[in-house]
Structure 1
Amino acid sequence: MPFPAWVATAAKIFVTVAWVIVTFAGLFVLTDRLDTVDRIEHGRQNDLHDPEIDYMNIIKEEHVVSDGATANDETDADETDDNDEKTAKTSKKRVTFDKDTKPATETVRRPREPPTQSHFWVLQMDNQLCGMVGLVQYTETQYDRRPRVTPGWKKMGQLFCGRYGLTVPHVFEFDPYQNPRVVAEAHAPHTASLQRLAVKQEFQGCGLSTLLMNRALAWAHQQGLTHVYAVTNEMQSTAATILKDRHQFVRVKKERTGWFGQHEITWVCSVEEWYVKNANPNDTLFKDTDPTSS
């Protein structure tokens, strides 16, 4: 039985539309996964590489431990009668030694002067990590600590020239350490940014994000901060809702960062207005504490 002529046309249209949908879906999933990995690595290699440095106003320096200094330390320790004091002195020094390539070094920790109004909180339940949040104040522009990735078209040009023994033209050259990407601008006085608000999946829906936000914003009020900023992206719609509906954050701007719906929204919160609306005098979170305490 012969089929009508329109059946073949309809089948071609259906296959074409199906392939377009599948292609766009696959491209979206791939892009989404790459964006997720990139954002995780961005945090791990920047402000979360060592939260003590970025959030807790600690400066760490590596010092080479010479044999003479080590011998003097041992002599001083032998002359000390108080065993507890001796233990305290030795516990402050973390020495690493590689007999083949590296000399013995120690990490010296000292407070930053003057300190910034930055802090970091980790929430635990039954000794299990369940949430975190950071409040950071930068005094200078922050650049991405990761080297930039060579654009695909430049990499293909370099491979083509290398394959045929050609000199790589200037248009294909790329220095990953030139013009690093800006990840954060310096803050104005009495302002800071809320970062790394996260609650473990099995603890979500229990109000822990509100607990973390209350602690961070109450601490910001104690430090005299007037405005706290936050940035969310297309993957953080739940966080954006929490900021807007529960903590009086107002949207400042929205920037497009990609071709498939990627964007970043900047929010700002007036700390004084938030405090007036949410402060509870009987709650320990809102009691004034020492500026350096958590």
Structure 2
Amino acid sequence: MDERDAMTQRFEEERGRLRAVAYRMLGSVSEAEDALQEAWLRAGRAGTGDVANLGAWLTTVVARVCLNTLRSRQRRDEQPLDGRVPDPIISPESGLDPEHEAVLADSVGLALQVVLETLSPAERLAFVLHDLFAVPFEEIAPLLDRSPAAVRQLASRARRRVRGQAPAPDPDPARQRAVVNAFFAAARDGDFDGLVSVLDPEVVLRSDGGVARDRHTVVLRGARTVAGEAVTFGRLSPFARPVLVNGTAGVVVVAKGRALSVMAFTVTDGRIASIDVIADPARLERLVPPPHGPAIDAWMR
């Protein structure tokens, strides 16, 4: 086996972990795949014959590609840091497929991805690589052109923000689903008090409507405010189909064979702490497989 064949084999062995790193860094499935493709090309050009730990080396290559993408995104000022709902990974409620299991290993749901969007590129790199993938600070430092001590501070700052803003979901999927079902039942009946009772007092609702809302995400805070909004879309409750969104309870709202929205819920201590909604038709076409037709219901089963 020559060097390129050996590198190809190792890259495929590492692909699941590398994809998970890229998704955590970028919050986009398509951009994560692009990052892996770019990393593969760079690895081919650089050669790996003298690399002692190819897995670690490939991780740093992917991380560097992702860092460049984040910095480019920041320069374009695509959206306010606290306003972007990242691409979710949507799976049938029956369970994740092996590819998604690798990407979402040790995930705490979409809430984590939302908070990662608020970090600076350097903070995100330090936190993702060290806290989520156990890369030593000494290996991260050269990527950021900083000392290990400075990278440690970046990760610590990011960690505090994640702990304060990314609630950990209930580990029991059945309890998550029961609370989400109660939410939709109350919305369907126009039961304002019932909605407030299943919402955390500090609940946050983010909704990305796409072009209809000038590509900006609407953010609502507080149980009574969110309950008031939920009453208005209670008519859609009969069309909500249960799915997993980043491994936790969520729904796809489907009418006439078309996905109208994806909703991700973070349930903590028996109440909904966050709701993230994507209603942008362009994003839904990419995110819900298949995007149209009666096959949607078959896929969600």
Higher RCO by CA contacts (8 Å cutoff, separation 6 or greater): 2
Q: Which has the higher strand share?
A: 1
Whether TM exceeds 0.5 here: the answer is: no
Which structure's CA Rg is the greater one? 1
- TM-score grouping bracket, smaller chain normalisation: under 0.3
Q: TM-score, normalised by structure 2?
A: 0.24
Q: Which has the higher helix share?
A: 2
Q: TM-score, normalised by structure 1?
A: 0.25
